[in-house]
Structure 1
Amino acid sequence: MVIRKPQGALTCEERCIVKALLAKGWRNQDIQHLINRGRIATVNSARITEVKNSADVEPAASDHLEFYMHKKNSYDPVTGLNLYDDERLIRAREAMILAVQSFNSPSLRFKTEQFAVQSNIAWTYLLHEYYIRKDKNIVHKNGRTFSLSKMVERSDFPLSDGIRNNIRDINEIRDAVEHKLLGRSDVKFFSLFQAACLNFDQSICELFGNSISLKSDLSIALQFAKMNFTQLNDLQKYDIPEHISALDAELEGRLSEAEKADLEYRFRVVYLLEGASKNKANFEFVRPESKEGKKIHNILEKRVIADDDYPYKPDQAREKIREMSGRKFTLYNHKQAWKRYKVRPQSGATEKSNTDKRYCIFHKAHGDYTYNDAWVSLVVEKISSEEEYNALKETR
């Protein structure tokens, strides 16, 4: 027969602590408050009275009592983690926070190296704590604890295949740090790192509770959204060192297309950087399993309005249309076209920038409209019809 301790019962250690505190003149309610700090099953005042009335309980030694009180004062009021009981989880959280902070820091140059190393430490501590709580021995015969690379290959690995693949690849990058200079690799592995941050926060909450989420310590998207996307685009134009490209190709080559498309392996999201109304955000985040998320799937897109994308002033657009269509086409015809197809506001409109950006944009700096190749193609296609052409013909 197994004898189970009732909920809220004092342990032998706690009974001795209570006896020592009573001897010091503590009141029942103060002892109860101290004992219940960080305790899942709280005790009531009757338990304290039982110890007070028992002659069989010996008071704890002074040094034991001193450490007990110090430990009880070591709980984080936000996360509920204790410096002594939850040291691995505290270290895991701090390592991931350091990984993000180092990647975001404008003064640090070795971002990939810093993130890969700190992320490896964070995942190692988190998984060690998981296996210990599952009563698994994490120490090998040689005295070394389980490495991260070994834990992700275990059959009882507690997380998804997408997270497993993401950890594997960042671990490979961490190993490469020991032997090679990774140079301009930050942008190359950005999406892997973003996924790692989101995966870590999801995993630590699922395994150990929502109270220890990093959301209270890091902003939306774990701060990576603060990167300048124009600079990000420019960085991608530079040549990537051959050994970095080779490492990236090796990592990509191991996975199927479905595995590479997994958002837990490599984070992807559409960023639409255009003007938006007040009731619509420029950045929109959707759940991967939602209808919108499935449509977006694994696309990473940056859309920036640029002068080079709309190179034609009205007369230049008119001339291109004339050349491509072989028809007489005047500026009046062009004006009739943009009115008919509603690609820009009427002259004198208050909201001049309210254009159909598939074809036209307004330049606030010099107060005019320019058009792109899509506009030229649209008009050429339209005026291939005699009816449309006649609708735009100059009438005097």
Structure 2
Amino acid sequence: MILAVQTFNSPGVNFKTEVFSVLANIAWTYLLHQHYERTKVSIYNSDGQSLSLTAMLERPDCPVSEGTKNNLRALKLIRDKVEHHLLGGVDPDWHALYQACCLNFDRTICELFGDRLSLSSELSLALQFARMEIGQLGSVQSHQLPKKIKAVDAQLAEGMTDEQIADLHYQFGVVYTLTSTSKSKAHIRFVLPDTPEAEAIENILVKYKDAGKSHPFRASDVTKLVDERTEEKFTSHNHTQAWRFHKVRPRNFKPESKQVNGKFCTYHSLHKDYSYSQDWVDLLASEWTDPKKRNKIKAVKLNKS
């Protein structure tokens, strides 16, 4: 793994994605082989071949998190592609996957074999040594992927939910903030996903969106819009049944953020009420025209609790 990181960070190497995906795959294979050998589980198949990383990830006793598994599945897909295609030149687009892979590796090796084997001193700045200016960040964000890379990029997240993609064990998230500091102190710092600091970043420092623009509809607006777009009468009672059926918000007006489905609903602490998005209106209008889905929503019993 150290070799994978050192190669990736080498300024003279243009084969970064290809080399990292191959070496990291081997590193994880050796790590899990060692784990199973220590737990007296054979790492060999009936044909004498050792277990592949893919096979070990699918075992029910695999000792890594689901987010880590998804990260390694994505890495394997990239590794398989580099056997047939040159993918270099778009390395920054998958930095988040590679950074998560490094942090996951260090966490796993410590959990399985002890903190004395931590690679934190070698991997603490893995994949990112240079400071990045705002202009550079903008350049990375606006980078246009070639068609074959777009195809691979689409495959990486195929079948995954938004929650799985947002998992810090799958891909590492970095929050950039503007602070008053001297140039010598300006830097990018990586935080381990399982630490309280990472949780605070995930919960607090999120991309700000104006709720008035992203969720412009009150419950009465949603009721009216859905009723107008469908032939079946849609009432405020039905709307309550719908949000309870889909569990888009809690029943009270002092919700925790994790209880609100941000795609469809948001809570306004100042006004102590909820508003809803266009996606929510579209979903209800679609479901209300489907007799089976409509009946499921209508079947929801409302009570005082």
Question: Which bracket does the TM-score occupy, shorter chain normalised?
Answer: 0.5 to 0.7
Partner Cα separation in structure 2 for residue 293 and residue 112 of structure 1: 27
Question: Structure 2 counterpart of 1:216, which letter?
Answer: S
Partner Cα separation in structure 1 for residue 43 and residue 127 of structure 2: 33
- After TM superposition, give the deviation of residue 226 of structure 1 in Å: 2.4
- After TM superposition, give the deviation of residue 145 of structure 1 in Å: 0.4
Which residue does 1:194 correspond to in 2? 99
Which residue does 2:145 correspond to in 1? 240
Matched, 1:116 2:21: yes
Question: Structure 2 counterpart of 1:104, which letter?
Answer: N
Question: Structure 1 counterpart of 2:95, which letter?
Answer: F
- After TM superposition, give the deviation of residue 238 of structure 1 in Å: 3.7
Question: Structure 2 counterpart of 1:291, which letter?
Answer: A
3-state SS of 2:48 partner: coil
Matched, 1:221 2:148: no
Q: 1:178 to 1:169 in 2, by over 3 A?
A: same
Which residue does 2:108 correspond to in 1? 203
Matched, 1:270 2:175: yes
Matched, 1:159 2:64: yes
Q: 1:225 to 1:296 in 2, by over 3 A?
A: farther
Matched, 1:169 2:49: no
| TM-score scaled by length of structure 2 | 0.60
- After TM superposition, give the deviation of residue 283 of structure 1 in Å: 4.5
Which residue does 2:158 correspond to in 1? 253
- After TM superposition, give the deviation of residue 235 of structure 1 in Å: 4.3
Partner Cα separation in structure 1 for residue 20 and residue 36 of structure 2: 24
Partner Cα separation in structure 1 for residue 55 and residue 7 of structure 2: 26
Matched, 1:293 2:226: no
Partner Cα separation in structure 2 for residue 284 and residue 146 of structure 1: 36
Partner Cα separation in structure 2 for residue 136 and residue 111 of structure 1: 34
Q: 1:104 to 1:114 in 2, by over 3 A?
A: same
3-state SS of 2:93 partner: coil
Partner Cα separation in structure 1 for residue 69 and residue 35 of structure 2: 15
Partner Cα separation in structure 2 for residue 157 and residue 134 of structure 1: 12
- After TM superposition, give the deviation of residue 295 of structure 1 in Å: 1.9
Q: Structure 2 residue aligned with 1:129, among 34, 38, 52?
A: 34
- After TM superposition, give the deviation of residue 261 of structure 1 in Å: 0.7
Determine if contact 1:274/1:282 at 8 Å carries over to the other structure. Answer: no
Q: 1:110 to 1:289 in 2, by over 3 A?
A: closer
User: How many pairs align?
Assistant: 202
| TM-score scaled by length of structure 1 | 0.47
3-state SS of 2:177 partner: strand
- After TM superposition, give the deviation of residue 221 of structure 1 in Å: 3.4
Question: Structure 1 counterpart of 2:98, which letter?
Answer: F
Q: 1:103 to 1:276 in 2, by over 3 A?
A: same
- After TM superposition, give the deviation of residue 193 of structure 1 in Å: 0.2
Structure whose CA Rg is larger: 1
- After TM superposition, give the deviation of residue 163 of structure 1 in Å: 0.5
Question: Structure 1 counterpart of 2:23, which letter?
Answer: Q
Higher relative contact order (CA 8 A, sep 6+): 2
1:205-240 Cα distance to aligned partner (Å, 9 max, x none): 00000001112323x332524264544542443431
Matched, 1:106 2:11: yes
3-state SS of 1:135 partner: coil
Question: Structure 2 counterpart of 1:99, which letter?
Answer: A
Question: Structure 1 counterpart of 2:117, which letter?
Answer: I
Q: Kindly report the root-mean-square deviation, in angstroms, between the aligned alpha carbons of the 2 structures.
A: 2.5
Q: Which runs of 5+ in 2 are unaligned?
A: 208-305
3-state SS of 1:107 partner: coil
Partner Cα separation in structure 1 for residue 148 and residue 120 of structure 2: 35
Identity across aligned pairs (percent)?
46
- After TM superposition, give the deviation of residue 103 of structure 1 in Å: 1.1
